[in-house]
Amino acid sequence: MTRSAAWIIVATTVATLPARRPPLQPTTVTEYVAVAGLDGASIGPLRADDLEVLSDGVPVASTALDDTAAPLSLLVLIDASASMPPTLNRLALAKTLDSQLFARLRRDDRVRVGSIASRLLFESHFTADRIELRASLDEAITGNDDHLLKPLDGPRPIGAPTEGHIRPLIEGPSPIWDGLWEARLLLDSERRHRTILLVTDGKASGNTHGFDDTLHALALGGVTVSVVGEVVEAMVTQVGGRAAVVQPNQLLQQLASQTGGLFFTDGKLLKDTKSVDTQTELPVSATLPLEQILERLMTDFQQAYAVSFPTLGDGEFHRLAVRSRRAKVVVRARPFYFAPRT
Amino acid sequence: MRDSSGRLIPDLKRDAFEIRDNGELRTITIFSNDPQPITVALMLDMSGSMTAGFLRVREGTLRLIDALSPADRVRIGSFGSEIALSPLLTGDKSTLRRVALEELWPGGTGTPMWSAINAGMRSLASEDGRRVVLVLTDGWDTGGLSGWTGGAAEARRTAVLDSFMVYAIGVQSLLPLRDEIVSLVDETGGGHFMASSTEDLGATFARVADELRHQYLLGFTPAILDGKEHKLDVRAGRGTSVRARKSFVAAK
d(CA A235, CA A245): 4
Interatomic CA distance for residues B199 and A50, integer angstroms: 64
Among the residue ranges A115-129, A144-158, A225-239, A286-300, the one predicted with the least confidence is A144-158
Q: Indicate the helix (H) or strand (E) that contains B10.
A: none
Q: Which residues of A20-39 are buried (b: 16+ CB within 10 A; e: fewer)?
A: eeeeeeeeebebbbbbbeee
Report the 3 state secondary structure along B160-172: HHCCEEEEEEEEC
Query: What average pLDDT does the structure give for chain B?
Result: 87
Partner residue facing A172 (CB), from B82, B104, B106: B82
The reported pLDDT for the residue numbered A195 is 96
Instruction: Please list every residue in chain B whose beta carbon sits closer than 8 Å to the beta carbon of residue A159.
Output: 41, 77, 83, 85, 118-120, 122-123
Average pLDDT in the B243-252 region? 85
pLDDT at B247: 86
Q: Is it the case that residue B131 has pLDDT exceeding 60?
A: yes
pLDDT higher than 70, residue A277: no
Residue-level pLDDT at B194: 86
Optimal mutation site among B49, B82, B138, interface A, most CBs of chain A within 10 A: B82
The ipTM value here is: 0.87
- A251 vs B: CB within 8 A: yes
User: Rounded CA gap, B154 and B118, in Å?
Assistant: 7
Across the interface, do B84 and A167 touch by the CB < 8 Å criterion? no
Question: A166: which chain B residues are within 8 Å (Cβ-Cβ)?
Answer: 147
Q: What is the pLDDT of residues A234-244, one digit of tens each?
A: 888 888 888 88
Give the residue on A whose Cα is nearest the Cα of B103. A205
* DSSP, residue by residue, A265-287: ETTEEPPPTT-S-GGGPPPPPPP
A161–B85 C-beta distance less than 8 A: no
B55/A contact by beta carbon, under 8 A: yes
Give just the sign of the alpha carbon dihedral B184, B187, B190, B194.
Answer: positive
Report CB contact under 8 Å: B86, A203. no
**Chain A residues close to B103, C-beta within 8 Å:** 204-207
Q: Residue B217 — very low, low, confident or very high, per pLDDT cuts 50/70/90? A: confident
Percent of chain A having pLDDT more than 70?
A: 82
Helix and strand element counts for chain A (H, E): 7, 18
**Å between A161 CA and nearest CA of chain B:** 7
Q: What are phi and psi of B74, to 5 degrees?
A: -135, 145
- Average pLDDT of chain A is 82
Contact A140, A114 (CB under 8 A): yes
Structure confidence at residue A275 (pLDDT): 37
In terms of Cβ atoms closer than 10 Å to its own Cβ (0-12, 13-18, 19+), residue B208 is buried
For residue A208, list chain B residues with Cβ-Cβ distance below 8 A: 87-88
Q: How far apart are CA A248 and CA B102, in angstroms?
A: 9
Least confident of A31-35, B65-69, B120-124, B196-200: B196-200
Are A246 and B107 an interchain contact pair (Cβ–Cβ within 8 Å)? yes
- According to the model, what pLDDT value does residue B77 have? 97
Q: How confident is residue B215, by pLDDT bands cut at 50, 70 and 90?
A: confident
Q: Is A171 on the interface with B (CB under 8 A)?
A: yes
Question: Amino acid identity, residue B244?
Answer: A
Q: Is the pLDDT of residue B219 over 70?
A: yes
Nearest to B180 by CA among B188, B211, B172, A171: B188
Residue B120 binned pLDDT confidence (cut-offs 50, 70, 90): very high
| % residues pLDDT > 90 (chain B) | 44
B111 touches chain A (CB under 8 A): no
A213 touches chain B (CB under 8 A): no
Q: How many other C-beta atoms lie within 10 A of the C-beta of residue A209?
A: 18
Convert the pLDDT of each residue in B140-174 to its tens digit: 788 877 777 788 999 999 998 898 999 999 986 66
Q: Does B198 touch chain A (CB under 8 A)?
A: yes
Confidence of residue A17 (pLDDT cuts 50, 70, 90): low
- Cα–Cα distance for residue pair A25/A29, rounded to 1 Å: 13
pLDDT of residue B135: 95
CB of A324 closer than 8 Å to CB of A40: no
Neighbours of A237 (CB within 10 A): 11
Contact between B144 and B115 under an 8 Å Cβ cutoff? The reply is yes
